[in-house]
Structure 1
Amino acid sequence: MGALKIHELPEQERPREKLAAHGAAALTDSELIGILLRTGIPGANAVDIGRQLIVKFGSLAALARASLTELAKTKGVGRAKGVQLAAAFGLASRLARENVADAPLNTPAQIFELLGAEMRQLGQESLRVVLLDSKLRLLRVEQVSLGSLNECLAHPREILRPAVLHNAFAFVLVHNHPSGDPSPSDADRRVTIRISEAAKMLQVQFFDHVILGSPAENRAAYFSFREAGVI
């Protein structure tokens, strides 16, 4: 016997009705995904497919990192529904950024809140500069390079150019480790020291260099060179 279709479930168990009555917090991840997918396939309703997606990719975070091609190849999803999922994850990432836009960004935890959700989805390293005003509020975020971080790609000239161009008071250098482990490499340390020296010459405050990873047992989700006393 196949799975019940959504409309065959008791009304209080249908995801849309459940959300309307109790809010999104009352729904499981698979139920929320089911609302986005809307329809299922023979033998699996939309919630079942949502559950299968989380199992297939390993976690909600990993699902959010999946490419449109990977989503579209999943049985019961296809390109159109894959686009809907990608759009939903994209909005969630933008919302996380908007929530901290007006507050001073003076801790690595706030930087993680600003960019962590988005950058955890990337399959390669992205080097970005977070530009701040004199009250350490967000001006803009500029991507400097995409790919493995090395001392050529992370040249002080390329990193400091956005700060000078946009008349920033300070900046935070941010990059991600796709492995999830934010521990700094020797190259990360050398780049940080070079940028610190160059920023002093231009009289721009190099506030921090934050490496973003993924939270795990006995491991933080980020590493801050400022907290480590390097900057």
Structure 2
Amino acid sequence: MEEPLIQDMPTQDRPREKLARFGPAALDNAELMALFLRTGIKGRSAIQIGRDLLKKYGSMGALGKMSVTALAKEKGLGLAKASQLIAAFELGARVAREQFSDVPLDTPELLYDFLAPQIAHQAQEQVLVLMLDARLHHTGTVAISLGTVSETSAHPRDILRPVITHGCYGFILAHNHPSGDPSPSVADERITRRIKEAAELMQVRFLDHLVVGRSSPGRKPYYSFREAGLIK
């Protein structure tokens, strides 16, 4: 049974009024999205469009990693509404990052919590270098490559350049596995060894290499080379 159009819903059940009365936590994801979409299309409310998108893509995280042009092609959206949704997702990601401004990234769990909103749902592999100060606070992130991680796309020269340029205390290498399985590949292990050797040569602290995946029963959503004892 389809939901009624928003204008046909009891006033207290409409997303805007519901938020005003009970707060944002009372709304589900589709209702929150409807507040940004504002209007639906003939026969489908903004809430229904939100539910359709969540059913198709599986999660808010996956939607948030889509490009504006790709999202705009979805039924009931268009460029303006897609832009509004992407802006909302980005604001949420920035708020999440701000929460770590005074938190030392000294455990794989914290690293994952910091990185997951950015890259866990990316459709392509992305290599990031996180720069840290002596208290292990995050001071900056540099995106090195987008696409399959290889010794070409993650060359030690490109990894170490921003670290040396910024004069940071140490750095963390991170990349995602779009499959969601964070188990390291042979290429991941080989690249980690090469960067470890280069960092030792340049006397730069290589603190960890984190492979970011997604949660699944019976496994962690990440793989930490430091936790595995391959970086000391």
TM norm structure 1: 0.94
In the TM superposition, what are the counterparts of 1:28-177 in structure 2 within 5 Å?
28-177=28-177
Counterpart CA distance in 1 for 2:48 and 2:11 is: 17
Counterpart CA distance in 1 for 2:113 and 2:86 is: 20
In the alignment of these two chains, the number of paired residues is 231
Counterpart CA distance in 2 for 1:173 and 1:134 is: 17
In the TM superposition, what are the counterparts of 1:179-198 in structure 2 within 5 Å?
179-198=179-198
Residue 3 of structure 1 contacts residue 43 of structure 1 at CA under 8 Å; is this kept in 2? no
For 2:213, the equivalent position in structure 1 comes to 213
For 2:226, the equivalent position in structure 1 comes to 226
In the TM superposition, what are the counterparts of 1:3-42 in structure 2 within 5 Å?
4-42=4-42
Residue 182 of structure 2 contacts residue 212 of structure 2 at CA under 8 Å; is this kept in 1? yes
CA distance 1:209–1:10, change in 2 (3 Å): same
Q: CA deviation at 1:3?
A: 5.3
Counterpart CA distance in 2 for 1:199 and 1:100 is: 26
Counterpart CA distance in 2 for 1:57 and 1:103 is: 32
Tell me which moved more, 4-13 or 93-102.
4-13
For 2:9, give the aligned amino acid.
L
Counterpart CA distance in 2 for 1:155 and 1:77 is: 40
For 1:42, give the aligned amino acid.
K
TM norm structure 2: 0.94
Aligned-residue sequence identity (percent) comes to 50
Q: CA deviation at 1:163?
A: 1.0
Counterpart CA distance in 1 for 2:28 and 2:2 is: 21
Residue 2 of structure 1 contacts residue 42 of structure 1 at CA under 8 Å; is this kept in 2? no
- Residue deviations 1:195-221 (CA, integer Å, cap 9, x gap): 112112222111100011111222221
Residue 212 of structure 2 contacts residue 221 of structure 2 at CA under 8 Å; is this kept in 1? yes
- Residue deviations 1:67-124 (CA, integer Å, cap 9, x gap): 3233212221111101111111111111221111221111122222222112123221
Q: CA RMSD in A?
A: 1.6
Give unpaired runs (5+ residues) of structure 1: none
For residue 197 of structure 2, give the secondary structure of its aligned residue in structure 1.
helix
